[in-house]
Structure 1
């Protein structure tokens, strides 16, 4: 189902006219008309406004094959997993877009990619969250969206987890869902690193020494020399809810 039809269907399910949705969301009527007709390039900011007005998660409108569930009816995947250090990784407040008794088929279309969502994110036995036993659900996202908004050219080895804490503000907001891709980060890229059994979202400094750097300067750098660490992947995008 195309994005415009998804928006129109969700609007009509709530019994709203276009004017109603314009008033609730703050998106202009002209823009909404273009979006529903699939004639305009929607911004992520406007999509978030529309999704919140319709009580849906943004990912619902980006996924190719999902069971339509609103935020009010879908439960969180897992309770919060919090650590003492910041920001630590957990899976929290991601809705179940696929019913347990109606999983996605193992195949995917050429225009979309299935991305695993991870639960019980513990970095035990040196495996971090990159471990099949922790996969809770898969969601299917459009490759065109991932390419346009996040600049992805490869759609392999993607995962969705949640960043907690404020040490990477403003680049990584608290409690946002981040898309992580396995790979070797370049100097200054934001990555997910396991140190012992803790997971961190930080920028990587390679020279003169390997360090994890926080954007929020209230936090000290973490020197990796002598630590039991593993760089698990690069943060390539994020989704944030509007409060």
Structure 2
């Protein structure tokens, strides 16, 4: 089944009308009808997440060749803004939160999705929102699409700006993993109260690089900064 058929099947399994699914998912009725009819559906990842939450299914349920994801096989640079709640310097910040990453069983992982946090792949952005919802993914999905081996310390945030284009789309959701960042990998870095997604350069000096040559490097020497973690993949906003 394609995604349109899966939405309809999930709704009918609940015994809901299209209007009921729209109300429970907070997605417009016109959108639900369009998604199920496959006529110019153009479903966005945020609406797909809302529908999955309403139906009580893993987002992996909608997996198909049409589900647009990208595995970042080569290191990339990005600038991104994330609130300090996601900071590595805090002791177990995520595990202390009700939105913490949890292994639901041997095959499913729950990942916090900070839909209101915007990370800048550009000149910096700021957003103080810290609330999140939890998304569930099958480990097989994360392995296949993002090449993950470890499923710890993952989160999803929004990337804005074009400094990492064409490596990363201008407006997408990025999968972040808090871990040591290697030379030339794409990372999330906090500078003061702003988050950036850029490529990390460690030698001869530590700085952040953009894949879009219109942006100048950001030197980190002498700045109040913290490297949060790696960008291990992204979801395009349009999933169909």
| TM bucket normalised to smaller | 0.5 to 0.7
Relative to its length, the structure with more strand (as a share) is 2
Task: Output the CA distance in 1 between the equivalents of 2:225 and 2:199.
Answer: 15
Structure 1 runs (4+) greater than 6 angstroms displaced: none
Deviation at 1:68, TM superposition (A): 3.2
Matched, 1:10 2:7: yes
SS of corresponding position for 1:9: helix
Residue 187 (structure 1) aligns with: 183
1:111-145 CA distance string (max 9 Å, x none): 1110012255499xxxxx9x9x9242110011111
Residue 31 (structure 1) aligns with: none
- After superposition, residues 131-146 of structure 1 pair within 5 angstroms as 134-146=130-142
SS of corresponding position for 1:191: strand
Deviation at 1:9, TM superposition (A): 3.5
Distance 1:219 1:6, change over 3 A: closer
1:144-169 CA distance string (max 9 Å, x none): 11100110000000000011111010
TM-score (norm 1): 0.59
Residue 89 (structure 1) aligns with: 81
The CA RMSD over aligned residues, in Å, is 3.9
SS of corresponding position for 1:183: coil
Matched, 1:109 2:105: yes
Residue 66 (structure 1) aligns with: 53
**Structure 2 unaligned regions, length at least 5:** 12-31, 57-77, 84-98, 120-125
For 2:169, which of 165, 170, 173 is the aligned residue? Answer: 173
Task: Output the CA distance in 2 between the equivalents of 1:182 and 1:209.
Answer: 22
Task: Output the CA distance in 1 between the equivalents of 2:116 and 2:48.
Answer: 23
- Structure scoring higher RCO (CA < 8 A, sep ≥ 6) equals 2
Matched, 1:57 2:45: yes
Residue 200 (structure 2) aligns with: 204
